[in-house]
Amino acid sequence: MEATAQMPTPAQLETLCVNTIRTLSMDAVQAANSGHPGTPMAMAPVAYLLWNEILRFDPDDPIWPNRDRFVLSMGHASMLLYSMLHLTGVKAVNAEYEIPGNPSVTLDDIKSFRQLDSRCPGHPEYRWTSGIETTTGPLGQGIATSVGMAIASKWQAAHFNKPGYELFNYNVYALCGDGCMMEGISHEAASLAGHLKLDNLCWIYDNNKITIEGNTAWAFSEDVATRFIGYGWNVTRVGDANDLDMLRRAFEVARKETSRPTLIIVDSHIAWGAPNKQDTHAAHGEPLGEEEIKGTKRNYGWPEDAKFLVPDGVYDYFQAGIGARGKQARDAWFAKLDEYKKDNAELADHLVKMQKRELPDGWDKNLPTFPVDAKGVAGRDASAKVLNALAQNVPWLLGGSADLAPSTKTRLTFEGAGDFTAENRAGRNFHFGIREHEMTAILNGLALSKVRPYGSGFMIFSDYARGGIRLGAIMEIPTIHIFTHDSIGVGEDGPTHQPIEQLASMRAIPGLIVLRPGDGNEVTEAWRLIMKLKHEPAVLVLSRQPMPTLDRTKYASAEGVQRGAYVLADSSDGGQPDVILIGTGTEVGLCVEAYEQLVAEGMKARVVSMPSWEIFEHQDEAYKEEVLPSAVKARVAVEQAGTFGWRRYVNSNDAIVAMKTFGASAPLKELTKKFGFTVENVVATAKREIERNNS
């Protein structure tokens, strides 16, 4: 600490800054009696150099659109990021995209690390703490999401940049570890990034050879460098994480690369705790202990009894580095945007709306209306027409599928849509390959970059995608997930491809909107609802087989989709029904047929189409009572999926016409008979429920 008594040299200030990051991290973990001190201590030099010298980021405006992105993929090392947010003076941003000017992370926040309502939770959380670009924690998700961010930078550049106006050219940096490299999603992500030649992407791999169980030799011995060279990456290595000059050289190599993403392998030694400790779990995932911290601080030349110390000169040094450089870049960008608006008014308007998750004027014009048709249209085919109309009205609506676009009908077919490739960055059709897990992470990265992305696959493969969908819900970002082949309607493909429990699984995710529309016009209304979402991801569940297009002059308007559930058909006298049939998707038409038969036999029946449980539950109690009167106990739910969850709307397990087993391989007509999805069975179930409740 003697260096702070006089004018310190730049080298001394660098060391002081690095050790401040380390000591804040170890003190916070110790105070919380929880967390991971080792990686923040080992990677402090990397974080210091990247933030203070490389990252194009303005702490006073952490959301300006062309900032470089930093992703901490090993989210357990969150104190490394919180230390950087605090020391660089990152400002908080509120929900209205205004900058109040308060610090994003105060020293008191760090002191309350991992405590209730702290801005420094156990893992970095987007939306909760400004300066955090994505929520991380599940290993591999961060680096996978960074690929989406890098793609967004390339697409935004191709769409918005004009001669003399380079508005988008940001780079994406992600710090990852051995756990990220082991997770399968990292293979998917690295493979696609290399294929797309994302030269604006740089991963820094902390090669410390430690996981919770111990040395990585237990389970991980591959040659990571060779693996990434095989993916088509530029690979460079820094033999010592403390060597700032070699780190500078590695980052310079990454910035000069013009055709490949870059992997920087950084060898480090994690903090091992007290010398007599043999438990590597304690070293990696637990506090060091007071005595070990004192010894470590003595080794740094630090006052061993000082806690949460930020020495004189540290804040100023960061302000003179990233603070000054970032402000200059940010101010120049906004000055350029002001000029851009004069020559490119519509594009500028779109850019601003996109950043605020708003929609352009006329976004829902010309959406298709489907004529009455007893044969009808498949959900996926109706969606294709709606999607293509919307995408022409919303230029930043883009996406693709996990190699299934011909089946999910998600290809944009209008002139100029094009394919996003290494050669064409302006294309709006994305090809994610057979990589459902990575596809959802890329969607998150795209949405975090403020474009509006969708991805698609078969409903059964939502299992592979669930991790990314869940994180999108936690982050409250409006990704769109289109899943077709939604039931036993897959037929001959059999149980491996027939989703049963997947709908319940999606409905179980808090904050996720799940919609299963019942005819073509409900599909249109579902899309209309989805496009207006700003803070919720949506899952659109669509059929492969046709659904009858209902006569809306006879039955209620499909606009009822906007409320999640609505009375589609009712008794002619408007009185209280004897029984309510509740259906979703392809089973809505089945409920209508059963309703007509019940009415013909003199019973008062009602059909409720319920495309979205979540939206319905958002309605007020009066509306919910109007649709599902509590006095009507005889209710039947019909859905070609598992029964789980339906008891909230019906009064008996016997009143749920749904799947109680896995499916079978057979033509659809045979399957509907086998599993009871027939008019006869629904009518019989309704009569039984009426009799049960009357008695």
pLDDT at 395 over 90: yes
Same domain for 423 and 319: no
Mark whether 386 and 506 lie in a shared domain.
yes
Q: Is residue 348 part of a domain?
A: no
Backbone φ and ψ for 683, nearest 5 degrees, come out as: -65, -45
CB neighbour list of residue 105: distance below 8 Å, 6 or more residues apart: 82, 85, 86, 90, 119, 120, 129, 131
User: Which tokens is 100 given?
Assistant: 């109040």
For residue 224, CA distances in Å to 146, 183, 435 come to: 19, 13, 20
The confidence band for 217, taking pLDDT boundaries of 50, 70 and 90, is confident
Does the residue 534 lie in any domain?
yes
Judgement on whether residues 308 and 417 belong to the same structural domain of the protein: no
**151 and 282 co-located in one domain:** yes
Residue with tokens 């935004």: 156
Over 90: is that where the pLDDT of 271 sits? no
Name which of 38, 42, 27 is nearest 112 in CA terms.
27
Residue 140 has pLDDT above 90, yes or no: yes
The domain containing residue 493 runs over which residues? 373-547
291, 434: one domain: no
Mean pLDDT taken over the chain: 93
- Read off the pLDDT band of 2 (50, 70, 90): very low
Strands 579-583, 201-207: pairing is unpaired
Q: Provide the percentage of residues in the chain whose pLDDT is more than 90.
A: 88
Strand (E) positions, 313-458? 373-378, 397-401, 429-431, 452-458
Kindly provide the residue ranges of all beta strands, DSSP E only, lying in 88-227, ordered along the sequence.
172-177, 201-207, 210-211, 214-215
C-alpha closest to that of 431 among 444, 413, 418: 418
* pLDDT value, residue 575: 84
Is the predicted pLDDT of residue 213 greater than 70, yes or no? no
Number of compact structural domains in the chain: 3
Average pLDDT over residues 134-145: 96
Q: How far apart are the first and last CA of the chain?
A: 85
| Annotated catalytic residue, options 436, 438, 525, 689 | 436
**509 lies in the same domain as 640:** no
pLDDT band at 270 (very low <50, low <70, confident <90, very high): low
Strands 397-401 and 566-569: unpaired
- Average pLDDT rounded to a whole number, residues 484-512: 95
Confidence check: pLDDT of 214 > 80: no
- What mean pLDDT comes out for the span 328-335? 98
pLDDT score recorded for residue 276 = 34
Residue 286's pLDDT is 76
Residue among 38, 40, 58 at smallest CA distance from 48: 40
- With a threshold of 0.85, does the pTM exceed it? yes
| Whole-number Cα distances in Å, 2 to 5, 123, 598 | 5, 35, 90
**Chosen domain end from 547, 582, 611:** 547
* 461 touches 505 (CB < 8 A): no
Q: Which residues contact residue 361 at a Cβ distance below 8 angstroms, ignoring those fewer than 6 apart?
A: none
- In this prediction, residue 277 has a pLDDT band, given cuts at 50, 70 and 90, of very low
Q: How far apart are CA 130 and CA 188, in angstroms?
A: 29
**pLDDT > 80? residue 477:** yes
Find residue 265's DSSP bridge partners.
205, 237
185 and 308 co-located in one domain: yes
pLDDT (0 to 100) of residue 100: 74
* 335 is a domain residue: no
pLDDT of 237-250, one tens digit each? 999 999 999 999 99
Last residue of a domain, one of 330, 358, 387: 330
CB 664 within 8 A of CB 495: yes
Structure token digits, residue 225: 């460098």
Q: Is the pLDDT of residue 274 over 50?
A: no
Give the integer Cα–Cα distance in Å for 543 and 117: 43
User: What is the domain-level CATH number for residue 47?
Assistant: 3.40.50.970
Last residue of a domain, one of 518, 547, 576: 547
Residues 59 and 128 in one domain: yes
pLDDT in tens, 13-33: 999 999 999 999 999 999 999
Other Cβ atoms less than 10 A from the Cβ of 421: the count is 15
Is residue 346 domain-resident? no
Residue 397 — pLDDT band, cuts 50, 70, 90? very high
Residue 538 and residue 583 share a domain: no
Classify residue 294: in a domain, yes or no.
yes
Residue 285 has what pLDDT? 64
Q: For 595-612, what is the mean pLDDT?
A: 97
Answer whether residue 636 is part of any domain: yes
* Amino acid 7: pLDDT: 74
Please count the other Cβ atoms lying within 10 Å of the Cβ belonging to residue 363.
18
What per-residue confidence (pLDDT) applies to 101?
82
- Helical (H) or strand (E) element with 299: helix 290-300
Is the domain of 288 the same as that of 379? no
Could you tell me the pLDDT band of residue 283, with boundaries at 50, 70 and 90? very low
H/E stretch holding 266? strand 262-267
Task: List pLDDT tens digits, range 144-182.
Answer: 999 999 999 999 999 999 999 999 999 999 999 999 999
pLDDT tens for 73-118 read 999 999 999 999 999 999 998 766 667 789 999 999 999 999 999 9
**Position 462 in a domain:** yes
Same domain, 395 and 537: yes
- At 607, which CATH number? 3.40.50.920
Q: What is the pLDDT of residues 30-73, one digit of tens each?
A: 999 988 888 999 999 999 999 999 999 999 999 999 999 999 99
Does 255 score more than 90 pLDDT?
yes
Dihedral sign (CA 289, 293, 294, 299): positive
Could you tell me what percentage of the chain is helix, strand and coil, using 3-state DSSP and rounding each to the nearest 5?
A: 45, 15, 40
Q: Do 321 and 439 fall into the same domain?
A: no
Active site residue 436: yes
Residue 73 lies in a domain: yes
Nearest Cα to Cα of residue 693 among 606, 632, 626: 632
